[in-house]
Amino acid sequence: MKTQISRYAKALVSAAALAVLPACALFKSTTNQSSLPVEVVHANSGQIASTRTYESATRLFVAGSAGKGFGYSIHPAAHVDIQLLDAAGNVIAEQQDDIDPSHPQLTKARHGYSSYVASFPIAEARKAAKVRVIYHPAVHAAAQA
């Protein structure tokens, strides 16, 4: 019985992998790495470990990983702000994504790090001079008041 269950589990995992691989290949074939420079802003209790930018015909994707600093734990309200900035440093567009260890991992991340992702319309991305990713260990001070 145990052997039969493990065969079914292996078959299920294989089928899932076969379903996901074409989607990954399609994403890779329809996106190009963006040339927008990226600025990261860390906090004492956390840091941005990596950031990548990709463009498709209709969207700019900003993805990466962030996590706790040495000796800290990730607060449940920890998040990143992903901003598109124009040449004067003004924010054109902004999104937030939480830093949650239960997020699906896009790549193999180090222990204590979680992925984040945001996407913007390509029209907004074309106006941007750079991308800024800011780590926030908890809710914004303005939001708390």
**Could you tell me the CATH number of the domain that includes residue 110?**
2.60.40
**What is the CA angle 116-26-54, rounded to 5?**
40
User: 26 with 67, same domain?
Assistant: no
User: 102 with 117, same domain?
Assistant: yes
User: 58 with 111, same domain?
Assistant: yes
pLDDT of residue 22: 46
User: 8 with 79, same domain?
Assistant: no
Q: How many domains does the chain have?
A: 2
pLDDT of residue 88: 96
Percent of the chain with pLDDT over 70: 58
The alpha-helical segments, DSSP class H, found in the chain are: 2-30, 122-127, 141-144
**Under 8 Å between Cβ of 60 and 83:** no
H/E/C letters for each residue in 10-42? HHHHHHHHHHHHHHHHHHHHHCEECCCCEEEEC
User: 85 with 118, same domain?
Assistant: yes
Q: Which domain holds residue 52?
A: 32-144
User: 59 with 20, same domain?
Assistant: no
Residues ≥6 apart with Cβ < 8 Å to 86: 92, 127, 128, 129
Pair of tokens at residue 134: 């800011």
For residue 133, give the nearest of 57, 30, 56, 36 by alpha carbon.
Answer: 36
Q: What is the pTM of this model?
A: 0.68
User: 70 with 114, same domain?
Assistant: yes
User: 37 with 88, same domain?
Assistant: yes
Q: What is the pLDDT of residues 54-104, one digit of tens each?
A: 999 999 999 888 877 666 666 677 888 999 999 999 999 999 988 766 655
d(C-alpha 76, C-alpha 45), whole Å: 13
User: 26 with 38, same domain?
Assistant: no
User: 92 with 123, same domain?
Assistant: yes
